[in-house]
Amino acid sequence: MNSLYLTILFPLIGFVLLTVGQKKLSENVSALIGVGSVGLSALFTLLAGLAFTEHGAFVQHLWTWFSAGNFSSEINLQLDGLSLLMAGMITGVGFLIHVFASWYMRGEAGYARFFSYFNLFVASMLVLVLADNLSLLFLGWEGVGLCSYLLIGFYYSNPDNGWAAIKAFTVTRVGDVFLLIGMFLLYQAFGTLHTATIVENASHVLSGNYAFWTAMMLFLGAAGKSAQIPLQTWLADAMAGPTPVSALIHAATMVTAGVYLTCRLHTVFEITPAVMQFISLTGAITLLVAGFAALVQTDIKRILAYSTMSQLGYMFMAVGAEAYQAGLFHMLAHAFFKALLFLSSGAVILACHHEQNIFKMGGLWKKIPFVFACFVVGGGALAAIPFVTVGFFSKDAILGAVYAHGNHGFYWAGVAGAFLTSIYTFRLIWVVFFGEEKTHAHQISGATYWAPLGILLVLSTFVGGLLKAPVERLLTSARIPAVEHVDASSAEHIAVVIALIGLAIGIALFTVGYKAVKTTARTSLGAGVSSIWYGAFGFDILYDIVFVKPYLFLSKMVGRDPIDGMWLVLPALAKGGHKFISSRQTGLLRDYASSMVLGMVVLLMILIVMQGMGQ
């Protein structure tokens, strides 16, 4: 395990080589470096896992990052059950996405540049999950934020893509400010940002309002990265990037960071039941809002984006119910089937000549039968089809744990979300793969296309469910609590039945009842409801009215960007101070003497005032 640092070093080396040689490297060499570096990272993660023992955490000290006064931050990597699970998911699923991307991005301008960003993304996420202190974690946290900006705006010639990247960067930075405040509060209380120290002593150090606001700031930071209300608006627009980017962000990296943070610092949140309730409430509202939004989207990638938001809501519901192991296993299961769905959607998009509107597709099951099979299995896992898909073993465990915890309202919200998921999943598959062919699709082939899809397809079935026991054992070794065994099988059975009813309703609506659905959608009521759902209940409009328009108005009034103006204050003060001090260098003794006397008078006045305040 002494080679743990290599899991990060290989993608970093790939990033440097691809950045330096991006204008000279061929596509084959770029793919070899980009895919190979993450493959080596996955290999060394596997080796670290094989050498891992379930007795305590392994910590590898590399060097001291910086030291200021009594505060110092170390570059230390920590491997325990939780970080091993995360690193395995990041490098394993990330490697498969890299392999697919080497096929998908062929012929695109900036091929080497794409893989340089991809490698940096993986390296940053590994820093985040392997860090043993919050300052190093925050470095990786900001790294994935930067990479998401670069990759979402990869097709920078289209201004809309640039705005989508800026939106993602800005909204997630709002969450990062909250996270920083939470980190400052933790340092104030503990005198350190060492994660293990905080986790072990949280119940003894934090209490009352201080504990409440610390936990709330940390959760809002997590909500920004994991696209939970009210910081969820960036996720759907992130679809502007290439499809493999969507797969990497939504399956194995960025959006999982918030779930990881809340589980890693679980003792900080457990002190304040009100915050735990708020976390569950946020997850429940988010999964319902995203579920309704997914019902009416027409872009294949945006449907999957809203489904990601919804599934993250389930994970946070699990965190709020202290069902951390269930939430983390669902995160792993989601990585499998969501990567499968996004990569399959990429294959569909290429087969349909870069068309993304599902209503311009149709009849594809004959043209690309393997992709159809991938969609059926991935969609089945998303809808948690019982016994045969990995989603059944993960999502229903969350619903059972939430019910057993006594949060019956949140449980029924989760059941309603499962109902919606079944409907929009069938709608997606039916419209894309059945009916009349509206876009002439062409055949697609290549080992780098079907091999990663095939592996993810297998992991999205009950085979992935076999990983549940090993995952729980790993998390137990990392002191991530398991839910006390309470029989909630009846609640899980109800959830399964309602999900199947949703699937049956979806089949009825989009087959024999499809004309009635279209007729209803054209009515004034139907059009109004569809518009609300399509806009995900208008959060973008709300933020535009409350934040964007007032800011633009203020910019127009002052004649410049106010933030730019704020930054110009600092150099203006420095320049003015320099000018004033220079003007006092006259060479005249009487000027220096008068300045000294004036300074002494000011100091005496300050001392007199302070003495008076002390009395």
DSSP string across 93-127: HHHHHHHHHHHHTTT-TTHHHHHHHHHHHHHHHHH
Q: How many CA atoms lie within 13 A of 581 on its CB side?
A: 6
Stated pTM of the model: 0.91
pLDDT at 39 over 80: yes
Pair 248, 97: CB distance under 8 Å: yes
Classify 209 as helix, strand or coil: helix
CB atoms near residue 340 (< 10 Å):
30
Pair 322, 276: CB distance under 8 Å: yes
d(CA 281, CA 290): 14
Distance of CA 46 to the CA centre of its chain: 24
Classify 467 as helix, strand or coil: coil
pLDDT confidence tier of residue 515, bands split at 50, 70 and 90: confident
DSSP string across 330-389: HHHHHHHHHHHHHHHHHHHHHHTTS--BGGG---TTTTSHHHHHHHHHHHHHHTT-TTTB
Q: Hey, CA dihedral for 591, 593, 596, 598, is it positive or negative?
A: negative
Q: Closest Cα to residue 427, out of 340, 242, 310, 303?
A: 303
User: Which one has a higher pLDDT value, 575 or 486?
Assistant: 575
Pair 483, 318: CB distance under 8 Å: no
Pair 102, 161: CB distance under 8 Å: no
The contacts of residue 230 (CB under 8 Å, 6+ apart) are 223, 539
Pair 377, 476: CB distance under 8 Å: no
587: left (phi over 0), alpha (psi -120 to 50) or beta: left
pLDDT 10s digits, 117-164: 999 999 999 999 999 999 999 999 999 999 999 999 999 999 999 999
Structure-token pair, residue 521: 């959608």
pLDDT confidence tier of residue 1, bands split at 50, 70 and 90: low
CB atoms near residue 122 (< 10 Å):
32
User: Which one has a higher pLDDT value, 186 or 448?
Assistant: 186
Classify 442 as helix, strand or coil: coil
d(CA 529, CA 534): 8
pLDDT 10s digits, 409-437: 999 999 999 999 999 999 999 999 998 88
pLDDT 10s digits, 186-227: 999 999 999 999 999 999 999 999 999 999 999 999 999 999
Classify 78 as helix, strand or coil: strand
Which residues, listed in sequence order, are joined to residue 63 by a DSSP beta bridge? 75
297: left (phi over 0), alpha (psi -120 to 50) or beta: beta
Pair 375, 479: CB distance under 8 Å: no
d(CA 49, CA 331): 19
Q: Chain-wide mean pLDDT for the chain? A: 91
DSSP letter for 133, please: B
Tell me what pLDDT residue 486 has. Answer: 62
d(CA 501, CA 351): 33
Tell me what pLDDT residue 120 has. Answer: 96
**β-pairing, 58-68 with 71-79?**
antiparallel
Pair 367, 125: CB distance under 8 Å: no
Least confidently predicted of 230-234, 356-360, 453-457, 600-604: 600-604
Structure-token pair, residue 514: 């499809």
pLDDT at 440 over 90: no
Mean local confidence (pLDDT), 304-327: 95
d(CA 471, CA 180): 30
